[in-house]
Structure 1
Amino acid sequence: MDDELLSIGSFAREVGLTPSALRFYGDCDVLVPAHVDAVTGYRFYSPDQVARAVLLRRLRAAGVPLPEVGAVLDGTAEQARAVLAAHAQQAQEVAEAAQAAIEAILDSLPGGARRTLARVGGAELASAVRQVSPSVGDGAARAEFPVLGCILVELDDQEVRLVATDRYRLAVRTLRARVEGPAARLVVDAAAFGDVASWALPFAEVGIEVDERGARVRGGGRAQNLPTSDEGFPDYRLILDALPSPRNRLITDRNALRAALLRSPGPAVLRTEDQQLAISGGTFQPAVHTGPPLRIAFDPAVLVPALEAGVGPDVLLEISAPDQPVVVRSADQGSFTTLVMPVHTEGTRTTP
């Protein structure tokens, strides 16, 4: 192997991207490692790839969707200018709409025991609760299994993990934290946790505290109790560990896919066609697809909330089989993963 090649960690520091982002871009064939060790799987990069990686980082920082990044990285100067001009116009329109919405919202607002303590940002905690909440069970599922109306909170290994499931979706969000004391695991009522997370939002840092008296969130010299349950939460690790390797990877515009699903009157069939995603009803949109031809169906009521909980302009679907959970994630936040069950309709299957 060339002595000049850089490890993924060294290359990440050089170009300002995280190792998880580099792995994502490699899997998507946007920034493929110069060498992958056949025994260890370690990835190495050439110094010649630095310029491409820096440009990729700048494009992603500007919010350019991944299906359009290739036109800038590999297309002509004219193609790159056209893509960037169109994206700049769209970004301006989105920013103006967001500013108007925020201003409207602002106008509507009225004037000693053994313990575990995890310190996280208040905004980070609020965001994590918001992201996993769509996967909390409600209605009949919650009536049959009350624990599905709760969020699992794990404090260990300098991380806080939030987990929620309704048996059709599973969401896991991991936060880096400063954890003091023994590992702790608690099951918290989701509705109450949402209220506490909203309260914690303004604080630069809050503490999730667990001791023999219960659990609470502390911030600004005050505390909010977290109502907990003694019921056993489903073992989400068994589900994650049992996932087979994906045969299909599909990347497309997250908001465009959401809009198309909302227009679907019933189960939405997704199929790939010449690097485009076709959605039942005749909607086509650009996509990056790897793997065999794909045809799979989803209940919009299940998939749309998973898309809404994501971040960034793109969504990645990792699909192993039409009857297996589909991993929904984004390049912009590897710490948040949702599993969504597809539905069966006539002819919806991945090609064997």
Structure 2
Amino acid sequence: MVDDLVSISAFARRVGLTPSALRFYDDCGVLRPAVVDEGNGYRYYAPDQEPRARLLRDLREIDLPLPEVRRVLDGEPAAAAAVVEAHLRTVEQKAVSTRQAAHRILAGLSSTTAKSPQVTLGGPELASAIRQVTPSAARPGAEATDQQNAASAADADWLPALSCVRIELSETEVTLVATDRYRLAVRKLHPQSFEGTPGAILIPAPALTELSRWLAAADTVTLEAGAELTLTTAGDTRVLAALDAEYPAYQTILEGLEPPACRVLVDRAGLADILGTDEVVALSIDQQSVAVGKERIDAITTGTPIRIGFTTRLLAEALATGVGPDVLLEIHAPDRPVVIRSADQGTFTTLVMPNRL
């Protein structure tokens, strides 16, 4: 055993920590050396301490406070995992808040010198994105067909941003977002060109919908987001009024999603066909199928079988905006947002809130 011991410097190189850090963790009682020479005080470590040291290194890399580090190192695996997951959610929420604050600061600092963002996109691609996200915007004034639709309209009365599509423009991607708080749609596009300073703009969803056919007929369209949104094709220009308002922090929802408890791959049109006409629909999901009442459709399921309810209209509209024959439902819990993805278009994501059965 003694022959296997290594000096603090050698152990530090093996596990990716510095000797000073190892001395600190010894003083804190988090990682004691295997042996301390009584004559000269030199510390020596054993090979079986390396896994603990590497885990300690990774925990400090994610800025986990030392008291929490001790809980992870000395606790049961399930309790340790819960500590790390809670810390991750805190970090993600702080990152979203930091990003939003930084954007506000930068906007204020550069308001007099910043150049409005300008991107060029494929016309049909932008039209497709508009078709996919606009159904998720709130529709104030629409006839309430269910409780959620009524609540959606009420939300829009005091938060008009919910009736808009948020368009975020940057050099690497253009993102279209819409939410009425019961569903969320996000579509990302890759710009052909970009100029100016990254920014975002809110445009009422109906105004974008009216331009869908015009955009679909254009090879390319250039968007400039200033005080209003200017769209230019080869032979025409349209200008849409923008709304100056705060938009919900949708990134918090996306970044806070935990791994799903159940994944269901099912035929998109087939699932839509069996939803029925009731206001609320209950999906009973087992390892091989999805059932709605007596109707059943084959499915590939991984994870825990579950029974979950939806407002029928919201689920049907989410399925209708998908692309391709299949749809993947990622279900976390009966009261958590369900992620709906399409295998044929990874740049589009829809979240739908379940309805209590």
TM-score by length of 1: 0.63
Deviation at 1:310, TM superposition (A): 0.5
Quickly say closer, same or farther: Cα 1:274–1:190, change in 2 above 3 A: closer
Partners of 1:160 and 1:273 in 2: how far apart? 38
- Higher RCO, 1 vs 2 (CA within 8 Å, ≥6 residues apart): 1
Asked if residue 167 in structure 1 is aligned to residue 181 in structure 2, the reply is yes
**1:157 Cα shift?**
3.5
Q: Alignment identity in percent?
A: 42
Task: Specify the code of the residue in structure 2 equivalent to 1:284.
Answer: R
Q: Matched residue of 1:243: which SS? A: coil
Cα distance per residue 1:252-284 (max 9 Å; x no partner) = 0111111111x14232111123411111x2111
Residue of structure 2 in register with 1:296 after alignment: 308
Q: What is the letter of the counterpart of residue 303 of structure 1?
A: L
What is the match of residue 288 of structure 2?
275
Task: Return 5+ residue gaps in structure 1 as ranges.
Answer: 1-38, 40-112, 346-352
- Give the C-alpha shift of residue 173 in structure 1: 0.3
Q: Does 1:207 align with 2:219?
A: no
Mapping 1:26-175, distance limit 5 Å: 114-139=115-140, 140=153, 141-175=155-189
Structure 1 CA distance, aligned partners of 2:184 and 2:213? 22
Describe the SS at the equivalent of 1:137: coil
Query: What are the Cα deviations for residues 169-212 of structure 1, in whole angstroms up to 9, with x where unaligned?
Result: 0000000112222101000111111123322211111101123x
Q: How far apart, CA to CA, are the structure 1 residues paired with 2:285 and 2:255?
A: 28
Q: CA deviation at 1:134?
A: 0.9
Asked if residue 229 in structure 1 is aligned to residue 222 in structure 2, the reply is no
Partner of 1:179 in structure 2? 194
Write the distance in 2 (CA, Å) between the matches of 1:216 and 1:138. Answer: 24
Structure 1 segment 189-338 matched on structure 2, within 5 A: 189-211=204-226, 213-261=227-275, 263-279=276-292, 281-338=293-350
Q: CA deviation at 1:244?
A: 1.3
In structure 2, do the counterparts of structure 1 residues 179 and 131 end up closer, same or farther at CA, with 3 Å as the change threshold?
same
Contact preservation (8 Å) 2:287, 2:302: no
Tell me the C-alpha RMSD between the 2 structures: 1.6
Q: State the secondary structure of the residue aligned to 2:274.
A: helix
Aligned residue identity for 2:198: A
Alignment correspondent of 2:45: none
Q: Deviations 1:204-257 (Å, cap 9, x if unpaired)?
A: 11101123x532111013210021000111111011111111111001011111
Q: What is the rounded CA distance, in whole Å, between the counterparts of 1:305 and 1:144 in structure 2?
A: 25
In 1, Cα distance between equivalents of 2:197 and 2:210? 26
Is the 8 Å Cα contact of residues 159 and 179 (structure 1) preserved in structure 2? no
CA distance in 1 between partners of 2:115 and 2:311 (Å): 46
Q: Which structure has the greater CA radius of gyration?
A: 2
Distance in 1 between residues matched to 2:178 and 2:289, nearest whole Å: 32
- One-letter amino acid of the counterpart of residue 189, structure 2: L
Which residue identity lines up with residue 130 of structure 2 in the other structure? Answer: V
Give the gaps of 5 or more residues in structure 2.
1-54, 56-113, 141-152
Instruction: Measure, in 2, the Cα distance between the counterparts of 1:208 and 1:331.
Output: 28
Specify the code of the residue in structure 1 equivalent to 2:347. S
Task: Give the C-alpha shift of residue 311 in structure 1.
Answer: 0.6
Shift in CA distance, 115/274, structure 1 to aligned 2, threshold 3 Å:
closer
SS in 2 for 1:343: coil
Q: Give the Cα–Cα distance (whole angstroms) in 1 for the partners of residues 174 and 286 of structure 2.
A: 40
Q: Distance in 1 between matches of 2:288 and 2:274?
A: 17
Distance verdict in 2 for CA 1:128–1:292, change over 3 Å: same
CA shift, 1:159, in A, is 0.9
Give aligned pairs, total. Answer: 231
1:126 maps to amino acid: A
Deviation at 1:117, TM superposition (A): 1.1
